[in-house]
Structures are given as structure tokens and as C-alpha cells.
A and B are shown apart, each in its own frame.
Chain A
């Protein structure tokens, strides 16, 4: 790290973070971030395993094309974490 940060770069004064729970673990979110971005920022790079090889998957295309990052949010299955905006109190589960 060079001391630079994206927050300094754009002069961000973010609103207070809220939490979502991912498989029971709290993950902090800046209002407006996607579930996938919040997980990635929290150092969680994978949250799904594939059906056959049990390979770990997380963000790949990041824009809703590849479907690698699927999660269940409040019981709604197969949502793309990279597109799904997190909301306070969301219960996210992974497979």
C-alpha cells in the first residue's frame, strides 16, 4: 500500500456502515454497496463451491454476467452478489 486510498481519492465521507449477516457472520456495509463488494472488502473472497469439483468461487466478472457469485438473500435464492445491493439486516446464506 502506498498510503493512497479510494476514499481519499474521491473525498468520500461515507454514511455510517450497517451490518448484514453472511452465514451468521456480521459483515459491514457502506450504504449502496453490493453484497459481493462488502464480502470482498471484508476479505471474504469465496462464498460458493461448485457442484462437481467443490471449487471455491466468488467475484469473477463482477458485473452480472458469469453467475459465479450466487447467494441467497433473505430466502431468495440464486441472486448475483455483484448486482445485489445490501440492505440493513439482510440474512445472506451461501452454498
Chain B
């Protein structure tokens, strides 16, 4: 499928729960919709699907809520799904609307998709914190281990340690164990029962947590709170980790260390939303419940830029249920705005049957009100979760002078300290002096750590391009643009 010369009523970036829900609503209402995703299949990270080549009889075995995914996937109703499209920039198009620039196909050829409206549903990636040995092969993100399993049926390691903070560690550990890995332990840096009281306010979530607890018990996986992996060791590849007992600020207690053998460490400290496109487009970005950056949206998921909408993790990390719901609301708002009727009425943009908002509800406005009420409930739960699993400052005490902060530019903590001693008082100055965040990943991996080392709350990204792009492709685009102008 070619990406060029297509004009749509709505371009959705991201085919996770939010993007799929919005695209389905808009397409069913008769809009021309394109859904772009960097992956080879729809579903995003949460609903990462297996390739057909596995001919899986029970694809749902690695998923939670797989039937919802099937409904979303099968509800796209004529929307163009452009897979393997990696968006590197988005901006106003010369003739109105928005131009979305992508690297398309396996060989990443440049292309552009244009649309009158744009939905940013780019999701999030694992938040990681540096610690000694974290760049040893065998150390990977929790989401990376999950992606290997869900998307490739590859078990990341034979003996795996899962560590970090947040509820995501549980499904990662249980699915690895179910797939045959020996999970040597789950180490949660926060308190063990940080979530429990709040979980009871959402019965579905309490049941889910119980299921994970049962899964861990069945595979005899030890789960310990107040523990952090403070160092990874191995001669060229990971062979063991040091687990420390940590206080409420995540500073290790003296003497509370144990060594755990493993060939893979799956580590994650929550999630960082991917806000590059929102920042490029000039959308207002505020703070989520834990102080991290999130796109500001109104109750119809409209950003501060007319024609640009955001849904899912980009508006504040909240999980797949909330993402899908926000996608529905955004899709309905797009339809209403396209028709020139008040948002929330969403004429013809009914969520599909099975969502509880379909048949039986006569009034479109009523549907809108119910969706909004449900979003308020789920957002409240998401905020409580973010507050229950914060990153505490004590992680900096795990660092040594030779611990890499930036993996790409190989900048050790010692050089960051030197930059601070030279007077670099903020993350940007540290970056200019010591170069953390100047490499391939553009600071996606270390940016938050550098901000925290500078004593700042992590801010929105400032990246003119959201994916590295070949100079030749940039030059070719300039030619096309000037041809268009002449």
C-alpha cells in the first residue's frame, strides 16, 4: 500500500486500543480514515498480536481482554490500515489539514499521509532508570520481554528476574512463567501493597490482580516489595543481579543485599508517553498526576490545536481500558466536528454493540454523557495508580561514576556530575555539555533520568523529528515541496 497522495478526513497515529477505537467510530460514521502504526500488526503494545505464521489455536492465552481486541480490530470498517509506517513528523499541510510524514515499509522509505484531522494515539514506552550494569546484554525492558513473547513467541530468558515498579510487572512475570521461564523473583521498589486499597474500588481490577497473584503462586514466583535491582553483573552478558532492600525513598539499606542468578532482567519503572508529535504540533502539554508530561485535552479529547485530538497514554498513562474509552470519545468528537454539530452528540458515531453504549440507548447526548462519566471514573483510578507507584529520588544512590546514563552516547554519571559542577543547572545545559540524549534514541531512554538528575520534573520532548530520518529522504522531501510550490 502506498502512503503518498492520500487525503483522509482523519489520520490516526497509533493502532493500539485508543487509535483502533477512534478509527472504528469515525469509519463507521462514514469518514475516510487512515490508521498508521509503526508495527507489522494492529494492537499496539497491549494487544500485540502474533504473526499468522504461528497458526495459534489459542491466541488469547497471552492476553487479557482479547475479545475486546478482536472487536476493535474487526470494527475498523473500511478504514485504511497503514502498517509499518513510522511517523517522524507531523505539521500543518500547505492546503489545510495536516501532513503526517512517515518512513514506510520494512526498508523505511519516506512518504506522507494527509488528513483534515489528526488523532495522536502514540501510546507509551517503558520508563527505565540507569543503574550499574544496565547496558549488559540480557538486561531489557519489561515491555521488551513482553513484546518478544506476545509478538514472536520467544521467551526472553531461561531464568528471569522482573524488577521495577508498578502493576505492569505482574502480567510480565506471570506470562513469562506460563511460557516456561523460571521467574526467579519479582522485585517491586515501592511498597508491596501500594495498590490494594484502591484496587477494591474497581472490582474488575481486583479480580485481575487476584489472577496475577494466583499465577505467581502457581509458578512459585516470589514477589517482594521494597526491593530494587541496584546492579546487574556479568562478563559480557548478564549472569546475576544485586537486589537491595530499599527504604521508602528507594535508598538501599546497609546489608540488605542478595545476589540472584538470571540470564535476563526485565525492568520497568512505569511508562513514558510518546509526546513527540503533540509537541511538534504545538499542543499544550501539562502534568499528569505524578508530575510527568501529558497532552492537555478537553472532555472531548481535543487538544489546544484545532483539528488535533489525543487519546490514550498520551493524555496521561492510564492503561488499555481508559485508552479505548478515550479513543471512542475522540472518534465521536471528530465525527461531530466534521459534521459541524456539538461534540458529545456524535451523530452516527455509536460505539459498537458490546461496549454497553450501543443498542438500547436512544439519545446520542446520553451516550456522550455516559462515556464522559465512565472516563472520569477510570481517570480517577489511573491517577491513583500513578500516585501509588512514583519514582523516588533514592535511585540516584544506585549510580556509580562509571554507570552509563546515556546508552547511545555512552555518557557516564561522572560526566553528568562534571557538567553540573561546571554550572549546568538544568537538563538542557547538561545535555549540551556532556551530550546525554544526543544519540540515536534522542533521549527517549535517558531523558527522564537526566531531568531528574538536574532536579527537574520530566518535561515534554523537544524533538524536531520523532524518528531518525535519512538525509537523502529529507532532501527528497524538500524537492517535492518546492515542486509543489512552483
* Chain A interface (Cβ < 8 Å from any Cβ of B): 1-7, 9-15, 30-34, 37-38, 40-41, 45-46, 50-53, 55-68, 70, 73, 76, 78-79, 82-85, 87
Contact = CB atoms under 8 A, between A and B. Distances in A.
Contacts of B141: 60-63
Given A30-B53, A65-B441, 5 more contacts: A6-B179, A10-B59, A32-B152, A61-B144, A79-B108
A5 B179 CA distance: 5
Contact of B62 (A9, A60, A64): A9
Residue among A50, A51, A61, A84 with max Cβ neighbours from chain B (10 Å): A61
A85 B179 CA distance: 22
Residue among A6, A33, A56, A78 with max Cβ neighbours from chain B (10 Å): A6
Interface of B: 38-40, 45, 50-59, 61-62, 86, 106-108, 125-126, 128, 135, 137-141, 143-145, 147-149, 151-156, 158, 177-182, 219, 236-237, 407-408, 410, 439-441, 444-445, 468
A58 to B, nearest CB: 5
B55 A67 contact: no
B154 A85 contact: no
B144 A12 contact: no
Residue among A14, A33, A53, A63 with max Cβ neighbours from chain B (10 Å): A63
26 contacts: A2-B177, A3-B180, A6-B153, A6-B155, A9-B58, A9-B178, A9-B179, A10-B54, A10-B58, A10-B59, A30-B54, A32-B52, A32-B53, A37-B148, A40-B148, A40-B154, A40-B156, A45-B137, A46-B137, A46-B237, A56-B137, A59-B140, A61-B445, A65-B444, A76-B107, A79-B108
A46 B140 CA distance: 12
Contact of B55 (A14, A40, A82): A14
A86 B135 CA distance: 25
Contacts of B143: 61-63
Nearest to A4: B180
Name the prevailing secondary structure of the A interface residues.
loop
Contact of A2 (B55, B62, B126, B219): B219
Contact of A10 (B62, B126, B180, B441): B62
B212 to A, nearest CB: 16
A63 B144 contact: yes
A65 B125 contact: yes
A65 B444 CA distance: 7
Shortest beta-carbon contacts, A-B, top 8: A32-B51, A62-B144, A11-B57, A31-B53, A37-B152, A67-B440, A32-B53, A6-B179
Given A10-B57, A15-B53, A45-B237, A67 B86 contact: no
B152 A55 contact: no
Contacts of A15: 53-55
A83 to B, nearest CB: 7
Given A2-B219, A31-B51, A66-B407, A60 B153 contact: no
Contacts of B140: 59-62
B153 A30 contact: yes
Contact of B236 (A3, A5, A31, A56): A56
Nearest to A10: B56
Contact of B50 (A4, A10, A50): A10
Contacts of B149: 6
Contacts of A85: 40, 51, 106
A1 B180 contact: yes
